[in-house]
Structure 1
């Protein structure tokens, strides 16, 4: 609105002593400036000396698998004397994505065209079509492969494990996924070692979880790996979660 009022003011001032051609030129120039201002993308501020944590989102992403680890990781900025996390979202669009439950989220980065920061931790929440059409998205799969080459950790929640498997990065790792989709994952990826009866599996730099509300546990576990038990318990307490790794069914591959 401010830009529109500015255009009107300038045109009014010049209307009495400016030729029609010059007024048109000024009008076009001002419109260009307004369009440039409105189209300029604002990126999140990423603090130095932090882990850069990217959440891969798309239409149909499930809220819980996104917001649970996002909450845990974002709260690290409120803990002293640790290397906290910059958390942000990445997608293949600048337009809002719509989660399965209807939440609209504007992605922070477009991995198809933006210059991305180095990603230390990639989080792949589950999405509605991770068992079918999303796996045919070559741009997305190639993005996961590129990030995996440099990332310190790659994590998935629920059916996000299908994306990691499709990218071929679980070929030599033990993994898990949403309990009722384990058999489907074994059929699609028969050479993978996929485990049941655990809430998450940690093998090398890969952490795959069953998802749902148990996404909190997998995220807290990663924080315990990075920061120690006391910090993980503090993060859990801030979200009123009882955290005790010994009581959580999980598998750690040495």
Structure 2
């Protein structure tokens, strides 16, 4: 009997040690996971600059995002102007994957973060701007809210469909990607949609054909804000021969 009790006691000790070890391992793992989760870092926004927010989502096209981003970001290297803070905004903290496969970590999540005032909203084109993205009520509401106080709202390529869905183009002229003009007219028959032009500026709205012409639309806004010399300087830094002379564009007075 004594031998049986000894065996049982030994077995209980082993079980207790194993259980304790397992619990310690779980506690250590949980603690390590928490410690390894990086704290979100927001971009540093310098005072006395335009805050330029780029709306991004899965399927955003590289060029319509990076072209104006490059132009606007380079304003910080010019003297005696009100330069631009550029940052991205999305509905997630997770990485956004562009149509071409780049992965971008958004600076702000408009669903939960406290956002700075956006002076210039940029809506690049994305893969589903002609269909499912237009059903995203929270995204459309965000665009509407920002547009109320923004000094400029710009779109590139099919980003114009988002502005149209938000009702922002009801009283202004606009344009979009050349081969999608017909589709846009069908979806929004009451809008004044221009063709044979690479960008349209009407009020605080600038819509562009997109693609590589997104550079020119961004340069135009810089010329509008800073003058020709600054715009030419920004263009020169990216080896772009910039001039509005002979460039197909529409400015509605």
**What TM-score results when the alignment is normalised by the length of structure 2?**
0.88
Secondary structure of the equivalent of 1:246?
coil
In the alignment, the residues of structure 2 paired with residue 234 and residue 33 of structure 1 have an alpha-carbon distance, to the nearest angstrom, of 50
The count of aligned residue pairs is 233
Cross-structure match for 1:6: none
In the alignment, the residues of structure 2 paired with residue 83 and residue 248 of structure 1 have an alpha-carbon distance, to the nearest angstrom, of 26
Cross-structure match for 2:40: 41
In the alignment, the residues of structure 1 paired with residue 159 and residue 146 of structure 2 have an alpha-carbon distance, to the nearest angstrom, of 15
Cross-structure match for 1:218: 217
In the alignment, the residues of structure 1 paired with residue 200 and residue 54 of structure 2 have an alpha-carbon distance, to the nearest angstrom, of 19
1:70 aligns with 2:79: no
Secondary structure of the equivalent of 2:87?
strand
Q: What runs of 5+ residues in structure 1 fail to find an aligned partner?
A: 1-19
Cross-structure match for 2:12: none
1:170-206 CA distances to partner (integer Å, 9 max, x unpaired)? Answer: 1000000000000100000000000000000000000
Q: What runs of 5+ residues in structure 2 fail to find an aligned partner?
A: 1-19
In the alignment, the residues of structure 1 paired with residue 114 and residue 35 of structure 2 have an alpha-carbon distance, to the nearest angstrom, of 19
Cα deviation for residue 31 of structure 1 reads 4.8
**Within 5 Å, which residues of 2 pair with 1:126-165?**
126-165=125-164
Distance 1:145 1:230, change over 3 A: same
1:116-161 CA distances to partner (integer Å, 9 max, x unpaired)? Answer: 0000000000001000000000010000001001100000000000
Cross-structure match for 2:200: 201
Q: Compute the RMSD of aligned alpha carbons.
A: 1.8
Cα deviation for residue 235 of structure 1 reads 0.1
Cross-structure match for 2:174: 175
Q: Determine which structure has more spread, i.e. the larger CA radius of gyration.
A: 2
1:7-31 CA distances to partner (integer Å, 9 max, x unpaired)? Answer: xxxxxxxxxxxxx79x95xx95995
In the alignment, the residues of structure 1 paired with residue 68 and residue 36 of structure 2 have an alpha-carbon distance, to the nearest angstrom, of 34
In the alignment, the residues of structure 2 paired with residue 32 and residue 46 of structure 1 have an alpha-carbon distance, to the nearest angstrom, of 33
Cα deviation for residue 247 of structure 1 reads 2.2
In the alignment, the residues of structure 1 paired with residue 49 and residue 33 of structure 2 have an alpha-carbon distance, to the nearest angstrom, of 35
**Within 5 Å, which residues of 2 pair with 1:95-134?**
95-134=94-133
In the alignment, the residues of structure 2 paired with residue 149 and residue 73 of structure 1 have an alpha-carbon distance, to the nearest angstrom, of 22
In the alignment, the residues of structure 1 paired with residue 140 and residue 127 of structure 2 have an alpha-carbon distance, to the nearest angstrom, of 16
1:82-112 CA distances to partner (integer Å, 9 max, x unpaired)? Answer: 1100000011111111111111111111111
In the alignment, the residues of structure 1 paired with residue 42 and residue 30 of structure 2 have an alpha-carbon distance, to the nearest angstrom, of 24
Cα deviation for residue 47 of structure 1 reads 0.6
Distance 1:170 1:36, change over 3 A: farther
Secondary structure of the equivalent of 1:72?
helix
Secondary structure of the equivalent of 1:41?
coil
Cα deviation for residue 251 of structure 1 reads 0.5
In the alignment, the residues of structure 2 paired with residue 245 and residue 234 of structure 1 have an alpha-carbon distance, to the nearest angstrom, of 14
